[in-house]
């Protein structure tokens, strides 16, 4: 699977009718809280446990009936996250990067990141249990730990050892870096610790 990296507003990669289109989004909010009173949470970053037992981002296939990529993704967000999803709706300006899959099916995927207020994000989490897809395509939302504990593996390194769908792990790391959600050296240390 090839990653197509871009920065700035989406310019509309569209490979052709034989490619199904997909869109997914990383939702995040700044957090003032500290774990055990000393470990900064920094940001709440949301992923989800999927129906297939892998971690991924909210989103899914865009329907040809959807007016645009973003409209399709926002429709998916309401299905997967419920009523609080309106505060998570993306625009072209939230676009991060794209990927292409050739086998077993042709898919072009588009990845977005959207900052929310902590209040809106927590409201979304509360409502997610009432989403249409809850317990079906979505087994639950999870927060990504953005710290490494004193043992050197607990936190983000251990989280990165999970099983991720497609390019989701690379997308998570890309977004944490380019959005500045944690210090670059701590991010690199966590990736390194997760590979040991």
Position 60 contacts Mn ion (CB under 5 A): yes
Beta strands in the chain (DSSP E): 2-5, 20-30, 34-35, 39-40, 43-50, 55-56, 59-61, 95-101, 107-115, 138-143
On the CB side of 132, CA atoms within 13 Å amount to 8
Residue nearest to Mn ion as judged by C-beta position: 60
For residue 165, the partner it binds in ligand AMP, Mn ion, none, with Cβ less than 5 to 8 A by kind, is: ligand AMP
For residue 171, the partner it binds in Mn ion, ligand AMP, none, with Cβ less than 5 to 8 A by kind, is: ligand AMP
In the complex, minimum distance from the CB of residue 27 to ligand AMP, in angstroms, rounded to a whole number: 14
Name residue 164's beta-bridge partners: 55
In the complex, minimum distance from the CB of residue 187 to ligand AMP, in angstroms, rounded to a whole number: 18
Count the Cβ atoms, other than its own, within 10 Å of residue 149: 15
Nearer CB in complex with Mn ion: 60/84 = 60
Q: Which helix (H) or strand (E) holds 83?
A: none
What span, in angstroms and rounded, lies between the C-alpha atoms of 88 and 78? Answer: 9
Nearer CB in complex with ligand AMP: 97/148 = 97
Position 95 contacts ligand AMP (CB under 6 A): no
Indicate which single residue of 29, 62, 124, 168 sits in contact with ligand AMP (rule: CB under 6 A): 168
For residue 99, the partner it binds in Mn ion, ligand AMP, none, with Cβ less than 5 to 8 A by kind, is: ligand AMP
Using the structure block, give the residue that is written with the tokens 């055990």: 36
Indicate which single residue of 41, 118, 153, 165 sits in contact with ligand AMP (rule: CB under 6 A): 165
- Long-range contacts of residues 96-99, Cβ cutoff 8 Å, at least 24 apart: 96/6, 96/7, 96/26, 96/171, 96/174, 96/175, 96/178, 97/3, 97/4, 97/5, 97/6, 97/171, 97/174, 98/3, 98/4, 98/6, 98/13, 99/1, 99/2, 99/3, 99/4, 99/166, 99/167
Site for ligand AMP in 98-117 (CB under 6 A): 99, 107, 109
Nearer CB in complex with ligand AMP: 168/190 = 168
Site for ligand AMP in 57-86 (CB under 6 A): 57, 59-61
Interface residue list for Mn ion (CB under 5 A): 60
Interface residue list for ligand AMP (CB under 6 A): 22, 24, 56-57, 59-61, 99, 107, 109, 165-168, 171
């Amino acid at each position: 699977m090839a990653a197509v990296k871009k920065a700035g507003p989406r310019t509309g990669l569209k490979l052709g009718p034989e490619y199904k289109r997909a869109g997914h989004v990383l939702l995040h909010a700044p957090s003032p809280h500290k774990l055990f009173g000393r470990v900064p949470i920094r940001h709440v970053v949301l992923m989800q446990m999927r129906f297939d037992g892998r971690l991924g981002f909210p989103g899914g296939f865009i329907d040809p009936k959807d007016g645009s990529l973003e409209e399709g993704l926002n429709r998916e967000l309401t299905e997967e996250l419920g009523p609080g999803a309106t505060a998570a709706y993306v625009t072209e300006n939230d676009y991060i990067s794209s990927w292409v899959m050739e086998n077993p099916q042709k898919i072009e995927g588009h990845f977005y990141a959207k900052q929310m207020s902590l209040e809106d994000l927590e409201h979304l989490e509360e409502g997610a249990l009432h989403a249409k897809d809850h317990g079906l395509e979505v087994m639950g939302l999870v927060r990504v730990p953005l710290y490494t504990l004193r043992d050197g593996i607990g936190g983000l390194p251990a989280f990165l050892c999970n099983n991720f769908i497609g390019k989701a792990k690379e997308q998570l790391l890309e977004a944490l870096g380019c959005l500045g959600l944690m210090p670059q050296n701590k991010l690199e240390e966590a990736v390194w610790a997760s590979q040991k």
